[in-house]
């Protein structure tokens, strides 16, 4: 995963992919409900408008042409011309469709949109999901330019499927996810804490990049502070303020996230993984792994229901 930026690192580690992407047309009176899932849901309106409702704790959202929304919790939601209407089961409607077929809600074509679902590796999902609110709504015209291009390409792929349409929609969906995360990141400058928002800070962002490019390097607080061009104390305070974790705590947790993935998906022996993660011995690695993950590396594959690793309680 070298030579990648931290956001790309995390998305690659989670193996984020567009599990499903469906276009829909809707007109007149219509209302459709979709059930919960374990990933991230995407909803976008290409033309027309409508309403989106999540649950009683969230006010209904008016969505207009070009609007894109992420639902990181994978919660159920309802889209409608009128939220007072009884909804149809959208999951049943989608399951009945043929590949690249466009769903029809109600009668007419006043609204054209896209509903998608991003799947990801569950063991490290909190790396990303803990950074995001229940809803990410991209609605400012200045933020929609790249997304508008993606949406129009999506419309073309569904309106007139060509060879490779399935792969094209998958790639467009991934590009939309990255762009939405970028937009959300920059819109929250100074208002949020976490590794993702810290990427926008020049000095701390450089250090995060270094940790991700060389997780096995023998980093110390001094060498990390030198990389940031700051004093040891000033760097430690600034990093904790922005990331929510001490620098070496973040490094240890990132190493364990990588180690969990390799334990599950590679044939590397534990001793080799220990060296890759910067530990001098297998026993030192096993001790750190047990402390942070809750079980020994050898038992991890059978311990996938361990308490989520990535949080700011430390």
- Quick check: 22 pLDDT over 90? no
Bigger pLDDT: 245 or 192? 245
List, in sequence order, the alpha helices (H) in 131-269: 145-159, 165-187, 195-198, 202-213, 221-228, 232-243, 247-265
- Quick check: 279 pLDDT over 90? yes
- Quick check: 258 pLDDT over 90? yes
Query: What 8-state DSSP symbol labels residue 297?
Result: G
Report the SS3 class of residue 78. strand
Q: Say which residues have a Cβ less than 8 Å from residue 284's Cβ, sequence separation at least 6.
A: 274
Predicted local distance difference test score (pLDDT) of residue 3: 57
- Quick check: 1 pLDDT over 80? no
Rg over CA atoms, the chain: 22
Predicted local distance difference test score (pLDDT) of residue 190: 62
Domain formed by 6-187, architecture: Sandwich (2.60)
The pTM assigned to this predicted structure is 0.79
Query: What 8-state DSSP symbol labels residue 66?
Result: T
Angle at CA of residue 281, ends 240 and 235, nearest 5°: 15
Cα distance between residue 52 and residue 103, in whole Å:
17
Q: Measuring CA to CA, which residue among 221, 218, 210 is closest to residue 279? A: 218
Domain ranges of the chain: 6-187, 196-302
**Average predicted confidence (pLDDT) for the chain:** 86
- Quick check: 109 pLDDT over 70? yes
C-alpha 168 chain-centroid distance: 20
Q: How far is CA 227 from CA 209, 230, 235, in A?
A: 10, 8, 10
Q: Say which residues have a Cβ less than 8 Å from residue 130's Cβ, sequence separation at least 6.
A: 194, 310, 311
- Quick check: 193 pLDDT over 50? yes
Domain topology for 196-302: Arc Repressor Mutant, subunit A (1.10.10)
């Amino acid at each position: 995963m070298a030579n990648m930026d931290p956001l790309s690192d995390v998305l690659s580690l989670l193996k984020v992919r567009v599990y499903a992407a469906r276009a829909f047309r809707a007109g007149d009176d219509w209302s459709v409900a979709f059930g919960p899932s374990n990933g991230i849901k995407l909803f976008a309106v290409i033309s027309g408008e409508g309403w989106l409702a999540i649950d009683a704790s969230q006010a209904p959202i008016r969505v207009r042409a070009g609007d894109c929304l992420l639902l990181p919790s994978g919660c159920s939601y309802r889209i409608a011309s009128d939220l007072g209407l009884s909804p149809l089961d959208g999951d049943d409607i989608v399951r009945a469709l043929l590949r690249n077929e466009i769903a029809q809600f109600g009668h007419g074509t006043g609204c054209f949109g896209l509903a998608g679902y991003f799947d990801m590796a569950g063991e490290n999902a909190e790396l990303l999901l803990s950074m995001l609110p229940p809803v990410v709504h991209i609605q400012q015209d200045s933020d929609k330019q790249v997304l508008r291009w993606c949406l129009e390409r999506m419309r073309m792929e569904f309106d007139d499927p060509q060879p490779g349409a399935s792969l094209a929609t998958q790639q467009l969906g991934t590009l939309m996810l990255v762009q939405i995360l970028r937009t959300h990141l920059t819109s929250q400058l100074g208002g949020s804490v976490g590794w993702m928002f810290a990427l926008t800070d020049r000095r701390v962002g450089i250090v995060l990049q270094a940790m991700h490019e060389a997780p096995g390097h023998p980093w110390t607080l001094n060498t990390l502070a030198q990389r940031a061009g700051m004093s040891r104390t000033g760097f430690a305070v600034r990093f904790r303020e922005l990331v929510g974790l001490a620098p070496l705590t973040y490094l240890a947790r990132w190493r364990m996230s990588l180690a969990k993935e390799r334990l599950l998906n590679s044939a590397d022996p534990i001793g080799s993984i220990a060296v890759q993660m910067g530990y001098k011995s297998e026993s030192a690695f096993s001790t750190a792994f047990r402390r942070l993950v809750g079980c020994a590396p050898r038992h991890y594959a059978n311990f996938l229901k361990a308490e989520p690793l990535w949080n700011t309680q430390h």
